[in-house]
Structure 1
Amino acid sequence: MTQALIIRKETAADIDAIDRVTRDAFLHAEHTEHTEQFIVKALRDAGALSVSLVAELEGAIIGHVAASPVSISDGTPRWYGLGPVSVAPGHQQQGVGRQLIGRLLDDLRQLGAAGCVVLGNPAYYGRFGFRADAALVLPGVPAEYFQALRLAGPSATGTVHYHRAFEAKN
């Protein structure tokens, strides 16, 4: 009998597995600089992992998702950036990422988040309610790939800036 997938908050014991899953998940991905594992570590080191969840199956970490605060030029507070989202190659296309993102959005709502932004495939993230929003801009990125989801409170307008950890290279 197979165990059910468990989505839970990361613990210190998960850090090496998260690094490995993140690295492996993006190994052959398009549109990446292969720095995602360094970004997660830098966010953690900076205390900026507002939500960090793992997917565990039969005792092994097979997925991870993170959210961190973003700043918006209009000063609207309580907005977050989703990502990276990582699923081990042997478990992709099986709903693991969907479950991780669903739980992350629930956790952000519990934190009182006003909204969340993501950079990624519109068809995929649209399933969760993310939509391109002309009022929010991530410089240098095609508008259709930068999407927002208002969770509560005020809408935001302006240029979005991710945490400086997103510049991590190692």
Structure 2
Amino acid sequence: MLNRTYDDQNCSIARALEIVGDRWTLLVIRDAFEGIRRFDDFQASLGVARNVLTDRLNRLCEEGILRRRLYQERPERYEYRLTRKGVGLWPAMMSLLLWGDEHYAENGPPMVLIHRGCTGRLTPALTCSECGAALGPTDIDPRPGPGALPTDRAAQQAAASGTP
């Protein structure tokens, strides 16, 4: 992953960076939270080189963040799903998303996270802005935000209507 290791540092952040501290790894995890499961779908979403994606998926599986599940035998094809350890990254991923929205989303957030229970938004405290409930990955619906590209809005509308 990283060219530099942090073996000499007694720091949990440094150790976590050894596993998830590069661009492609975090984007693979993001896509897994968004429901992407298959290699070709990750590759299409990310535009990453196949060898790089293979490396990241293998490493995430070795670390117990993703698990592979065979869904086709000839040729062998796998789905990749978040494990409990992987789902544990949700608060960090959401905090990073909200921080990016605050500081780098010039046209507003490309995606907003809505509480399924009452339509409030996810707050930095990972609670609902309306009802105050603590939220987790199964409690939210991502929707295009003011900074969404037209293609993102079309894809969201197609997904909502059940059309490809």
TM-score, normalisation: structure 2: 0.35
Q: Higher relative contact order at CA 8 Å, sep ≥6: structure 1 or structure 2?
A: 1
Which structure is higher in strand share? 1
Higher helix share: 2
Between structure 1 and structure 2, the one with the greater Rg is 2
